[in-house]
Structure 1
Amino acid sequence: MSVLDQVVKAYDIRGTVPDQLNADVAHALGVGFAIHIRQASTAEQVVIARDMRPSGPQFVEAFSRGLLDQGLDVVDIGLGSTDMMYYASGILDAPGAMFTASHNPAGYNGVKLCMAGARPVGVDTGLLDVKRVAAEVLDGTTPRPAARAGTRVERNVLDDFAEHVLTFVDLDDIGPMKVVADTANGMGGLVVPAVFERLANVELEVMYPELDGTFPNHPADPLQPANQRDLRARVTSGGFDIGLAFDGDADRVFVVDEQGEGMSGSTTTALLAVAALRQNPGASILHNLICSRAVPEVVREHGGVPIRTKVGHSFIKQVMADTGAVFGGEHSAHYYFARNYNADSGLIASLVVMAEAGRSGIPLSEVRRPYERYSASGEINTEVDDALAVIERVSGEYAECEQDRLDGLTVNCGEWWFNLRPSNTEPLLRLNLEAADRDSCDDRVAALLGSITA
């Protein structure tokens, strides 16, 4: 496999530094993105941001050089969260590039690309074109430079972004509240205080706020329960009303209630959907196919129209644009807002959860209860030699159940269901299963794992 085959994923670019990603690759990707922008739009400038990883500055410089040589101007907004970059892309109506590897370990970096208005760039919407040109550059065939080189300016959008986030809630709903946020040495350490300092009734404590891309305290992957352990303990020991666990680029957030119990992405999606439907009666709400079946149930009960989607931000943003949905959620804690250019934001989701808890007048542990109706396995990864062959075999074993192939294999057996998806990058099968109760869920998981590993 070429280095680009290794790092170009379904909806972003990500790899290890420096064996897969280095300054030469970043420059080639910059040229590729510039050519794609020239062919697909009339944009003349590109927004660039980065997270706190040590390789970020050199990658931004090399990528920018590729853009500038092709005559595009660069607006460098410096250190920021991914949702801050999306905001800048929206207000400037310009394509954007965010250098981040999100929740991946310290040895990784990557880049998320978007077109003007934060429109997604994935394998079906331009990423393969970027990859093709970048491959030519790495092979020594660089497109002719533009007659006029682009210019580079720096711009600070943090304050404007913080004010934008606040517009998604009625601040009166957020009464006196103690909040602790674990930003895991990621970009939440920059953007979370910038927003919360504007909330007069909120007392904020930030855990691991120092921007440090070596992640000295714990990995910035809150999807893994072990990485929420410190936050859950602090919530209970400090008497906090809510805990917030952000990932490395702060576009995702997991919520912990006042009893130190974490909320699943599905529960938070249902809660946010109710808030969205209160403001937009009858609206469409997206949920990926891994979310609990409680999510579409709650959406219908509150007068909305649930729409099921594939996993992944580029797919969901496109479906939001196509359907006019006002909100979308994923089990992995990505939450998308139409008024945020269809982009995901951990900060906006945090404030809406806080507002819902505040307006209810009851603890978050009680607010969440109506949305938790089933028992889920969580995502279970199994290494297999041939993921597609295993999927076909399992499909045959459950032929009597309703099945679809929207994203991997989803099997609905009435009181329980499961999804099997192959990893894009590893020889893994990802299993998610939901059943009526814990015992049934555990029994079904054990049976399925036996089939997968047979």
Structure 2
Amino acid sequence: MTGLSQLVKAYDVRGVVPDQWDEGLAELFGAAFVTVTQADTIVIGYDMRPSSPGLSRAFARGAAALGTSVTEIGLCSTDELYFASGRLDMPGAMFTASHNPAQYNGIKMCRAGAAPVGEDTGLAEIRALVEGWADNGAPEPVAVPGSITQRDVLADYAGYLRHLVDLSGIRPLKVVVDAGNGMGGHTVPTVFDGLPVDLVPMYFELDGTFPNHEANPLDPKNLVDLQARVIAEGADIGLAFDGDADRCFVIDERGEPVSPSAVTALVAARELAKHPGSTIIHNLITSWSVPEVVKEHGGIPVRTRVGHSFIKQEMARTGAVFGGEHSAHYYFRDFFNADTGMLAALHVLAALGHQDGTVSELVAAYDRYAASGEINSTVADQANRTAAVRAAYRDRPGAAVDDLDGLTVATADWWFNLRASNTEPLLRLNVEAPDSDTVARIRDEVLAIVRA
């Protein structure tokens, strides 16, 4: 069986349909998933991509053929699937390719209680089974297949999120939301229903061909429409969701993006007010401001690798109340240690609505440094270029070097991280310093070596 090495990633399954995978392969993944998780029951959801319903149903057939009962929740966001997995205590599978272009699709899988399934926690075994069955024939179905039933959990999901954030008494807010034709268009109306919010929807029509822009708010060009609309509407805030609506990006009243690190620090401070002395997880690319704010509010910051499976494992290990990443993934202990952009958005709305200032004023205390953002360089030999950067900085006075995730070099005045992509011949650079001139200097120094 060829092609699965390109299809099965470190955290999920993702590839082009039908070139790299199809409903026949999805059926094998369903059988492999229930074999590895030893599940009697599972829950499945899917996004708005044209291929999602068929792939999802094929996965359900593969699971049911081995005797597992399947609950289908239909169209949903990824965090809605995590909610269902946590609330129903079932392993789950979400059919989505997140922010990838329309021709892609994938599967995000979790164990009961929304515990992650990654390369080291079951995904490698699932891949091995699928490869074997693809070469030698599908597993023999059991005599009595499992049932396949449908259940709508959207209202329960919305109610659960609203239960976790005190939105009582907030002032009226004008909120522009860009769903990017993704699943935010499905979840936002129900979650926001009844709030004192004048909702201005953008691209709420579910359309997995993404006719307006890619559903990837991490790319600045996909925020342009929202930024302009916030200004035109005189809105208090803008929110942008990615395709499967598990990430949320914030735009302030001036149309300027708010750093996900600032959102992480803000939410961390709110969670520490409810749970004094708790642990907060942050990945190594989040701003220095995050551990600073956590300590100032009496919490314990824990630095970890990039990626949801690492964050979730650390959340479980440490009992952390909250975790945040530079990519706008936000994780909550009260949400089964899973990531939910919607819950983070509600925290920001609550913080904004319970005071009279603007978003820019609200986040100013949490946005303390200049940053480069993630800069990608295409390189033929990632290890060689990384080694060259290490050699250039390891003996620099006052510099500390660590290898937690890629190469991080830090001094009292600046830090940078250089990480290799798991799926492309890229090196990703992030730089932070107190001022933009220092960021530019370090950025240019490192890129000169990377791109030599």
Please say whether Structure 1 and Structure 2 have the same fold, judged by a TM-score greater than 0.5: yes
Query: Which blocks of at least 5 consecutive residues in structure 2 are unaligned?
Result: none
Which residue in 2 is equivalent to 1:234? 229
Query: Is 1:408 matched with 2:406?
Result: yes
Query: Is 1:143 matched with 2:139?
Result: yes
Q: Aligned AA for 1:443?
A: R
Distance apart, 1:291 and its partner CA? 0.3
Task: Report the secondary structure of 1:260's partner residue.
Answer: coil
Return the alpha-carbon distance in structure 1 between the equivalents of residues 82 and 355 of structure 2: 31
- State TM-score, norm by structure 2: 0.98
Return the alpha-carbon distance in structure 2 between the equivalents of residues 283 and 319 of structure 1: 13
**Percentage of matched positions with identical amino acids:** 55
Task: Report the secondary structure of 1:126's partner residue.
Answer: helix
Task: Report the secondary structure of 1:171's partner residue.
Answer: coil
Which residue in 1 is equivalent to 2:32? 32
Return the match for 1:270 from 244, 261, 265.
265
Cα RMSD after superposing both structures: 1.0
Query: Is 1:193 matched with 2:193?
Result: no
Q: What is the aligned length? A: 449
Return the match for 1:171 from 150, 153, 167.
167
Return the match for 2:449 from 443, 448, 451.
451
Return the alpha-carbon distance in structure 2 between the equivalents of residues 140 and 151 of structure 1: 26
Task: Report the secondary structure of 2:136's partner residue.
Answer: coil
Distance apart, 1:81 and its partner CA? 0.2
Q: Aligned AA for 1:422?
A: A
Distance apart, 1:148 and its partner CA? 2.1
Which residue in 2 is equivalent to 1:365? 360
Return the alpha-carbon distance in structure 2 between the equivalents of residues 183 and 44 of structure 1: 35
Deviates more, 1:179-188 or 1:29-38: 29-38
1:265-323 CA-to-partner distances (Å, cap 9, x unmatched) read 11111111111111111100000111011110010011100000111111111110110
* CA contact 1:173–1:355 (8 Å) conserved in 2: no
Query: Is 1:18 matched with 2:13?
Result: no
Distance apart, 1:436 and its partner CA? 1.6
* CA contact 2:178–2:202 (8 Å) conserved in 1: yes
* CA contact 2:239–2:249 (8 Å) conserved in 1: yes
Query: Is 1:377 matched with 2:372?
Result: yes
Which residue in 2 is equivalent to 1:334? 329
Which residue in 1 is equivalent to 2:249? 254
Q: Aligned AA for 1:362?
A: G
* CA contact 2:259–2:367 (8 Å) conserved in 1: no
Identify if the C-alpha distance between structure 1 residues 93 and 315 changes in structure 2 by more than 3 Å, giving closer, same or farther.
Answer: same
Distance apart, 1:203 and its partner CA? 1.0
Return the alpha-carbon distance in structure 2 between the equivalents of residues 205 and 146 of structure 1: 51
Return the match for 2:438 from 434, 440, 450.
440
Distance apart, 1:144 and its partner CA? 2.7
Which residue in 1 is equivalent to 2:105? 109
1:205-247 CA-to-partner distances (Å, cap 9, x unmatched) read 1100100000000000001111111101111110111100000
Q: Aligned AA for 1:223?
A: L
Moved over 6 A (4+): none
Correspondences of 1:79-118 after superposition (within 5 Å): 79-118=75-114
Which residue in 1 is equivalent to 2:53? 57
Return the match for 1:356 from 326, 346, 351.
351
Return the alpha-carbon distance in structure 1 between the equivalents of residues 37 and 363 of structure 2: 44
Task: Report the secondary structure of 2:124's partner residue.
Answer: helix
Task: Report the secondary structure of 2:25's partner residue.
Answer: helix
Distance apart, 1:147 and its partner CA? 3.3
Distance apart, 1:359 and its partner CA? 1.8
Return the alpha-carbon distance in structure 1 between the equivalents of residues 152 and 221 of structure 2: 35
* CA contact 1:24–1:138 (8 Å) conserved in 2: no
Deviates more, 1:186-195 or 1:356-365: 356-365
Q: Aligned AA for 2:425?
A: P
- State TM-score, norm by structure 1: 0.97
Return the match for 2:179 from 174, 179, 183.
183
Return the match for 1:313 from 303, 308, 313.
308
Return the alpha-carbon distance in structure 2 between the equivalents of residues 272 and 103 of structure 1: 24
Distance apart, 1:73 and its partner CA? 0.6
Distance apart, 1:107 and its partner CA? 1.1
